[in-house]
Amino acid sequence: MRNTLFIVILLLSSINIFGQETEVDATTGASQQVEKKKNLTNFLSRLHIGGYGEAVMTRNFYSQSFNRYKKPENFKDDKSHGRFDLPHVCLNIGYDFGKGWTMGTEIEFEHGGTGSAVEIEAEEAGEYEAEVEKGGEVNLEQFWINKAFWNGKFNIKAGEIIVPVGYSNAYHEPNQFFTCYRPEGESTIFPNTWHQVGLSLWGKVKDWRYEALFLSGLNSESFTAENFVHYGATSPYEFKVANNFAGALRIDNYSIKGLRIGLSGYYGYTFRNTLRTPGSKYEDVTGALGIAALDFTLNRWNWIVRGNVDYAHFSDADEISAYNQANWTHHKYQDGNPHHYTNIGSNALAYGIEAGYNVFSQIPKLKQKDGKLFLFGRFEHYNTMASGTYQSMYKYTKKYRCAFGVNYSPIKQITIKGEYSYRFFEKPNNNGLTSDSPLYKQPYNNEPSISLGVTYCGWFL
């Protein structure tokens, strides 16, 4: 009986002790769960994930031949052709480390990215072949570390950063222009989106935003007659050559309600910014590039109006064109040559204006909802060979474009776009010659098209 009583007492004591330990473990576990949730909430509050993308379908009612400007009479009756495209799909990831330190990245897939694969060809005795699955580009468009001072009035940013020269570089997301593609003029004559490794000093003071940048210079070997300096920021190597340096500046003002006015500029040497060493003949050639750009956005009274004027001057254009031509003659039989080696204009310009009105603002039942319907029109002109010795050889680079269409946003982040575009050219001066004269110059064929696109732009987290 005593032994039984002892065993019962021992068992009850064990249960009591076990219960106390379980209670302690449960309390500790609950505390750990609370701490984990707190850490996760803190992490998510500092993490930013977003992006934007565009999908476009186009029907072009003109020839797609690369010779259509050299012999326009041969292509005036060509059939239309269609295209499906993913102009830009971007993923942004940012993080706030605290104490003013932040990080930002942007990965961009242009025209759907790029794809390749190795395949075994049964029809070719089982040989291995590298196949190009699709075209496009993949770029790390942004990667920077930023330190903020005085509540953001002054910042230091370093890494791969956007060069905000011209409207289309500073404001290149699909909800910042009406057309299915980015404004054609600036996207042709400047790098777009222009991004380089460099240092940026920027900030906001009252109604002003400023940014000054220190960068490596562009490479004149990649300039072309039809695209001016568009390809100058790219590098075929694993690094960006920095024999020359450049500076850029942008200032935006917001003093007037609903109006932003921006002024931007760039200056730097472009010659010798490559691994190739020119001879002594080019000792005094610098290829100085200067750019000045003015742009504005008015968003008020149910209107959105945007405009830009850009002008660029390129010194030593004739000397560098001669250098490029000599290199083309010498290297034209080399495979994999990454440079263009064409003539270059000494000046380029672009200007454009677009305006859209929100029709839903006049319909009471739709006015209070999130959706918006803008009817818009756009006109622009650009010329990559506005002046220079070789201007007469590239008359077709002087282009005009009109576009009319609609932007429908059922919610803020989504926009469905439709447009009719008409690109046209200045008629050649034939001085009274008739079309049967051997000296008669055929006018360039105009280039109309219809496009339909869908875009998104926003932060997911």
How do residues 33-56 score in pLDDT, each as one tens digit? Answer: 888 888 878 888 899 999 999 999
In a domain, residue 143? The reply is yes
Domain presence at residue 30: no
Given the DSSP bridges, would you call strands 137-149 and 127-134 parallel, antiparallel or unpaired?
Answer: unpaired
Q: Is the pLDDT of residue 438 over 70?
A: no
Distance CA 166, CA 435 (A): 41
What is the C-alpha separation between 55 and 144, in angstroms, rounded? Answer: 28
Flag whether 126 is in a domain.
no
> At residue 365, what are phi and psi to the nearest 5 degrees?
-70, -25
Tell me what the mean pLDDT of segment 391-406 comes to: 92
Nearest residue to 247 via CA among 226, 285, 210, 216: 216
Task: Tell me the per-residue pLDDT of 187-204, one tens digit each, with 9 for 90 and over.
Answer: 999 999 999 999 999 999
Classify residue 364: in a domain, yes or no: no
| Number of structural domains the chain divides into | 1
Q: Is residue 284 part of a domain?
A: yes
Residue 360 is predicted with a pLDDT of 94
Query: Is 400 domain-assigned?
Result: no
pLDDT digits (tens, 9 = 90+) for 282-337: 888 999 999 999 999 999 999 999 999 999 999 999 998 888 877 665 555 455 56
Q: Helix or strand or coil: residue 220?
A: helix
Q: Which stretches of 170-231 are assigned E, i.e. beta strand?
A: 195-205, 208-216
Q: Report the pLDDT averaged over residues 120-136.
A: 62
Of the listed ranges 222-226, 238-242, 405-409, the least confidently predicted one is 238-242
pLDDT, greater one: 122 or 375: 375
- Interatomic CA distance for residues 273 and 65, integer angstroms: 33
Mean pLDDT (whole number) for 268-274: 91
Domain encompassing residue 149:
48-64+80-113+133-357+450-459
In which element (H, E) is residue 252 found? strand 245-253
Least confident of 20-29, 153-162, 443-452: 20-29
Name, of 71-80, 175-184, 226-235, the range with top average pLDDT: 175-184
- The CATH number linked to 236 is 2.40.160
Query: What is the chain's alpha carbon radius of gyration, rounded to the nearest angstrom?
Result: 30
Cis peptide before 193 (omega within 30 of 0): yes
Tell me whether residue 173 is in a domain. yes
257 part of a folded domain: yes
